[in-house]
């Protein structure tokens, strides 16, 4: 059973339709990330999860310093990912590089780790998990990018 998905209807202006060269409508950053999310769900064997991705300003994050966050309902296999906008990521910390796709992978990996999620008061364990996920997310993206460039 799938729940009805909201379709993002792109309004195409009439003038555009009559033009000879009609390029496909450009996807918003959020739509691109939603697409990336589906790809990574397949790769990470998380395709049975219903994951929504939003690209939001820092003030809409659970922590204004976070580049990404995820909330999941493990029994329903649904999750919401929030990624901070690239503009706000720079404002958060100009020295901290921000890669939306890597952050997306990071948040998805949390779903695999969900059963082992340490108590939030266990600071050391939380940090260790974050570092582990960071290392895996970075390695996976690097690998995916190198495969992509090899296929060109
Ligand atoms: Zn994390």
Higher pLDDT among residues 109 and 151, named by residue: 109
Ligand 1 centroid, distance to 41 Cα (angstroms): 17
Instruction: Provide the H-helix boundaries in 19-151.
Output: 29-43, 86-92, 100-113, 123-151
Ligand 1 centroid, distance to 51 Cα (angstroms): 16
Q: What is the pLDDT of residue 7?
A: 45
Query: pLDDT tier at 152 (50, 70, 90 boundaries)?
Result: low
As a whole number, the mean pLDDT across the chain is 87
Least confident of 1-10, 118-127, 131-140: 1-10
Ligand 1 centroid, distance to 37 Cα (angstroms): 16
User: Does residue 131 surpass a pLDDT of 60?
Assistant: yes
| pLDDT (tens digit per residue) in 70-124 | 999 999 999 999 999 999 999 999 998 899 999 999 999 999 999 888 887 788 9
Ligand 1 centroid, distance to 133 Cα (angstroms): 7
Q: How far apart are CA 85 and CA 77, in angstroms?
A: 26
Closest CA to 104 of 124, 128, 86, 122: 86
Ligand 1 centroid, distance to 15 Cα (angstroms): 45
User: Does residue 27 surpass a pLDDT of 80?
Assistant: yes
Ligand 1 centroid, distance to 70 Cα (angstroms): 8
Q: What is the pLDDT of residue 79?
A: 98
Q: In 15-36, which positions are buried (b, 16+ CB within 10 angstroms) versus exposed (e)? A: eeeeeeeeeeeeeeebeebbeb
Ligand 1 centroid, distance to 128 Cα (angstroms): 10
Ligand 1 centroid, distance to 102 Cα (angstroms): 11
Can you tell me the mean pLDDT for 25-39? 95
Ligand 1 centroid, distance to 105 Cα (angstroms): 10
Higher pLDDT among residues 6 and 96, named by residue: 96
Ligand 1 centroid, distance to 9 Cα (angstroms): 32
Ligand 1 centroid, distance to 67 Cα (angstroms): 9
């Amino acid at each position: 059973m799938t729940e009805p998905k909201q379709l993002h209807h792109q309004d195409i202006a009439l003038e555009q339709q009559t033009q000879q060269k009609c390029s496909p409508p450009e996807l918003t950053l959020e739509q691109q990330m939603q697409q990336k999310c589906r790809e990574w769900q397949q790769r990470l064997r998380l395709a049975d999860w219903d994951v929504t991705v939003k690209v939001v300003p820092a003030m809409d994050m659970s922590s204004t310093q976070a580049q990404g966050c995820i909330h999941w309902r493990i029994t329903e296999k649904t999750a919401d990912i929030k990624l901070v906008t690239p503009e706000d990521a720079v404002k958060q910390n100009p020295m901290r590089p921000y890669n939306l796709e890597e952050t997306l992978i990071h948040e998805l990996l949390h779903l695999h780790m969900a059963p082992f999620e340490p108590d939030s008061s266990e600071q050391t364990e939380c940090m260790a998990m974050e570092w582990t996920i960071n290392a895996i997310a970075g390695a996976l993206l690097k690998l995916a990018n190198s495969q992509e460039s090899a296929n060109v």
